[in-house]
């Protein structure tokens, strides 16, 4: 769609926009933004590519898909009745339940009437004369709005590597991030899974139980810690519900935005016995809090090695075949890539119907009509599952043709990596906001509180603009450059920036290698955002 095709000529000529706000995406960010916009009396329209709400949890329906944040914390807190009335069934909520929760929120607040489903935004162009964003959509439609909020998610653009012969495969293919809505039955089938990231680690144990044979193609082994998932403890639920606001407040003081008790001591000061006991306790508790075993696990390689060694020991303990255990053992920094949380992942390799193919030295050569070819050998399958991840954080934004002042495109602006002010706004793109955009803590934190913090900040900003008679806001290039610099310097302090992960865009050929999320932690980030708004939106030009 070209710029000329986008927009309502009449509205543009009048200097009016069709809506105060267009929100792109009806996941948790878009839904809450709509709720807040309505509360401010603003007219808003949400445009959503899927046929219903839920975002990430609408698309990622693969077997075993589950949140790696505990249920009682992975929910909205803006409405106490909502958090009191909703009941989670498991410690870690499975995808269908999170999707039901999103649907419940949509119904409870009657959100769907302002959401246009099955429509993808293709272009967003700022019209300088009218100060309206003109949004062009896949159905050929267009709308104008004073403000545009990109609530497009961090992991919403799937990555399907450009394997030779991809289209030649005669069997069924699936991507974990675009899973069909119908049940997929692997019973009696020969299945290949490509990838060993979080999606693969969650789905492999379940596919293995169904398939006649499962072959996993692993390029880089990954660290995972058991979830110890199960039915949620009702006493715990009652305790949390009795003190939900206090728990939420505690979580906000944590770097991760998660309420748990990290041990801030150095691993290097612990004796071998203390360390073993500490890691065993964390392993028994399960999940991402494992990385809170010591305060320096992501700061010192020597400290990190102690945790990595412990997990490698667990792999050797669980996996019967020492050669397979060795292949499954990651050699890099634990927590550098996002730590995975699993149910029976390592033990799955003890099954007779599961094999592991190491493609680290001999990449997948091609997809053939019968299956996958590696090192001259063909593996035949009835189905191939691509668990190959996402073009994270920037992929979805850059798929759209977003143009700001002077027709500058976001693709040009971000050619060397994303540049934002606070991960919320972009110099040269007035009245455009990104929820959990690159340069904000986003994926390094519990997403729900981070989403709410961004949406609240944007809502307060819109209210401020209205009360001060402003209709345009844009960050200065200086404020943006300073923030980009700060994000990059902060990333350098942590081991997280040292490996080839999707945090740095290393999984996408040609993507600039930049650590995208902000590593400074949730509390420091919130303080910065609050200081910016308290100082009359410091770093922004308002007119
Ligand atoms: P990830 O974590 O990006 O994992 C993708 C996996 O696919 C990973 O093991 C990749 O290996 C592998 N991959 C990608 N391209 C290839 C090729 N060409 N050949 C072989 N293997 C390949 O995505 P997920 O969906 O699992 O998880 C994303 C996030 O969702 C996760 O971090 C949680 O936050 C939830 P590589 O490591 O690049 O060598």
> With 0-12 CB in 10 A as exposed, 13-18 as middle and 19+ as buried, what is 360?
exposed
- Local structure of residue 66 (DSSP, 8 states): B
Q: Which atom of ligand 1 is nearest to the CA of 502?
A: 3
Ligand 1 touching residue 394 (CB < 6 A): no
Give buried/exposed letters for 75-106 (b at 16+ CB in 10 A, else e).
Answer: bbbeeeebbeebebebbbbbbebbbebbbebb
- Cα 124 to averaged position of ligand 1 atoms, centre (Å): 30
What average pLDDT score do residues 45-73 get? 98
Give per-residue pLDDT as tens, 411-426: 999 999 999 999 999 9
**pLDDT tier for residue 151 given thresholds of 50, 70 and 90:** very high
Position 15 scores a pLDDT of: 56
Q: Which atom of ligand 1 is nearest to the CA of 201?
A: 26
Q: Give the mutation target among 363, 389, 499 for probing the ligand 1 site: most ligand atoms within 8 A of CB.
A: 389
pLDDT at 138 over 80: yes
What average pLDDT score do residues 92-108 get? 98
Ligand 1 touching residue 389 (CB < 6 A): yes
How many whole angstroms separate alpha carbon 512 and alpha carbon 527?
29
What average pLDDT score do residues 347-363 get? 98
Give per-residue pLDDT as tens, 269-284: 999 999 999 999 999 9
What average pLDDT score do residues 181-205 get? 98
Mean confidence (pLDDT) of the chain:
96
Ligand 1 touching residue 499 (CB < 6 A): no
**pLDDT tier for residue 296 given thresholds of 50, 70 and 90:** very high
Strands 540-542 and 172-175, by their bridges, are: unpaired
Ligand 1 touching residue 194 (CB < 6 A): yes
Q: The pTM is what?
A: 0.96
pLDDT at 11 over 80: no
pLDDT at 520 over 50: yes
**pLDDT tier for residue 1 given thresholds of 50, 70 and 90:** very low
How many whole angstroms separate alpha carbon 239 and alpha carbon 142?
49
Backbone angles phi, psi at 542, to 5 degrees: -115, 140
Ligand 1 touching residue 278 (CB < 6 A): no
Q: Give the mutation target among 164, 221, 224, 388 for probing the ligand 1 site: most ligand atoms within 8 A of CB.
A: 388
What average pLDDT score do residues 380-392 get? 98
**pLDDT tier for residue 401 given thresholds of 50, 70 and 90:** very high
Q: Give the mutation target among 195, 216, 335 for probing the ligand 1 site: most ligand atoms within 8 A of CB.
A: 195
Nearest CA to ligand 1 atom 20: 219
What the block records as the tokens of 376 is: 């001259």
Ligand 1 touching residue 175 (CB < 6 A): no
What average pLDDT score do residues 367-396 get? 98
What the block records as the tokens of 55 is: 């975002």
Topology, domain 3-157+392-472+518-537: FAD/NAD(P)-binding domain (3.50.50)
Ligand 1 touching residue 192 (CB < 6 A): no
Ligand 1 touching residue 202 (CB < 6 A): no
Backbone angles phi, psi at 456, to 5 degrees: -65, -40
CA atoms within 13 A on the CB side of 484: 17
What average pLDDT score do residues 256-264 get? 94
pLDDT at 510 over 90: yes
Best CA proximity match to 63, nearest among 174, 194, 217: 174
CB 108 within 8 A of CB 121: no
| H or E element in which residue 340 lies | strand 340-342
Q: Give the mutation target among 55, 356, 507, 511 for probing the ligand 1 site: most ligand atoms within 8 A of CB.
A: 507
Give per-residue pLDDT as tens, 445-459: 999 999 999 999 999
Position 12 scores a pLDDT of: 40
Ligand 1 touching residue 424 (CB < 6 A): no
Nearest CA to ligand 1 atom 22: 195
The fraction of the chain above a pLDDT of 70, given in percent, is 97
Q: Which atom of ligand 1 is nearest to the CA of 219?
A: 39
CB 71 within 8 A of CB 95: no
Nearest CA to ligand 1 atom 23: 389
H-state helical runs in 15-171: 28-39, 56-59, 80-85, 95-108
Ligand 1 touching residue 196 (CB < 6 A): yes
Strands 473-475 and 540-542, by their bridges, are: antiparallel
How many whole angstroms separate alpha carbon 37 and alpha carbon 46?
11
Ligand 1 touching residue 199 (CB < 6 A): yes
Position 326 scores a pLDDT of: 98
How many whole angstroms separate alpha carbon 472 and alpha carbon 543?
5
Ligand 1 touching residue 198 (CB < 6 A): yes
Nearest CA to ligand 1 atom 25: 389
pLDDT at 127 over 60: yes
pLDDT at 266 over 60: yes
**pLDDT tier for residue 186 given thresholds of 50, 70 and 90:** very high
231 compared with 5, residue with greater pLDDT = 231
How many whole angstroms separate alpha carbon 407 and alpha carbon 392?
25
CB 269 within 8 A of CB 255: no
pLDDT at 63 over 70: yes
Nearest CA to ligand 1 atom 12: 195
Backbone angle region of 303, left / alpha / beta, with phi > 0 → left and psi within -120 to 50 → alpha? alpha
Q: Which atom of ligand 1 is nearest to the CA of 163?
A: 18
Best CA proximity match to 358, nearest among 318, 315, 325: 325
pLDDT at 9 over 60: no
- Cα 504 to averaged position of ligand 1 atoms, centre (Å): 13
Position 144 scores a pLDDT of: 98
Give per-residue pLDDT as tens, 326-349: 999 999 999 999 999 999 999 999
């Amino acid at each position: 769609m070209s710029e000329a095709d986008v927009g309502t000529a009449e509205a543009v000529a009048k200097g009016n926009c069709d809506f105060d706000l267009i929100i792109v995406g009806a996941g948790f960010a878009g839904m809450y933004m709509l709720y807040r916009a309505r509360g401010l009396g603003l007219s808003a329209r949400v445009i959503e590519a899927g046929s219903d709400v839920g975002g990430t949890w609408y698309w990622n329906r693969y077997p075993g898909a589950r949140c790696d944040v505990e249920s009682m914390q992975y929910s909205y807190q803006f409405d106490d009745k909502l958090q009191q009335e909703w009941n989670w069934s498991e410690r870690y909520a499975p995808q269908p339940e999170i999707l039901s929760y999103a649907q419940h929120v949509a119904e409870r607040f009657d959100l769907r009437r302002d959401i246009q489903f099955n429509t993808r935004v293709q272009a967003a162009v700022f019209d300088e004369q009218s100060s309206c964003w003109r949004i062009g959509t896949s159905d050929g439609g267009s709308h104008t709005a004073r403000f545009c909020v990109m609530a497009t998610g961090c992991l919403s653009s799937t990555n399907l590597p450009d394997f030779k012969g991809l289209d030649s495969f005669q069997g069924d293919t699936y991507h974990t991030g675009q899973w069909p809505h119908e049940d997929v039955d692997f019973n009696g089938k020969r299945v290949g899974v490509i990838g060993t990231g979080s999606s693969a680690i969650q789905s492999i144990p379940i596919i293995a139980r169904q398939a006649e044979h499962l072959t996993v193609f692993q390029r880089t082994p990954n660290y995972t810690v058991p979830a110890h998932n199960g039915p949620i403890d009702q006493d715990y639920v009652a305790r949390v519900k009795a003190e939900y606001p206090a728990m939420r407040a505690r979580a906000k003081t944590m770097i991760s935005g998660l309420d748990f008790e990290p041990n801030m001591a150095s691993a290097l000061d612990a004796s071998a016995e203390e360390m073993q006991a500490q890691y065993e306790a964390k392993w028994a508790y399960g999940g991402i809090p494992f990385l809170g075993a010591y305060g320096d696990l992501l700061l010192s390689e020597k400290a990190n090695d102690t945790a990595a060694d412990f997990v490698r020991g667990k792999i050797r303990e669980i996996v019967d075949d020492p050669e397979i255990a060795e292949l499954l053992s990651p050699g890099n920094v634990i927590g550098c890539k996002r730590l995975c949380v699993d149910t029976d992942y390592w033990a799955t390799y003890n099954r007779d119907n599961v094999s592991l193919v190491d493609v680290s030295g001999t990449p997948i050569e091609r997809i053939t009509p019968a299956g996958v070819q590696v090192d001259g050998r063909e593996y035949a399958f009835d189905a191939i599952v691509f668990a190959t991840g996402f073009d994270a954080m920037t992929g979805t934004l850059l798929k759209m043709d977003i143009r700001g002042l002077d027709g500058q495109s976001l693709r040009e602006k971000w050619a060397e990596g994303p540049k934002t002010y606070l991960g919320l706004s972009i110099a040269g793109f007035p009245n455009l906001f990104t929820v959990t955009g690159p340069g904000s803590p986003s994926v390094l934190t519990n997403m729900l509180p981070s989403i709410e913090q961004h949406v609240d900040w944007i809502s307060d900003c819109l209210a401020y603009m209205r009360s001060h008679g402003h209709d345009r806001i844009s960050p200065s290039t200086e404020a943006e450059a300073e923030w980009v610099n700060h994000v990059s310097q902060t990333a350098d302090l942590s081991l997280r920036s040292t490996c080839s992960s999707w945090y740095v865009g290393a999984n996408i050929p040609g993507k600039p290698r930049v650590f995208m999320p902000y590593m400074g932690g949730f509390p420091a980030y919130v303080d910065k955002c609050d200081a910016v708004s308290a100082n009359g939106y410091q770093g922004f030009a308002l007119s």
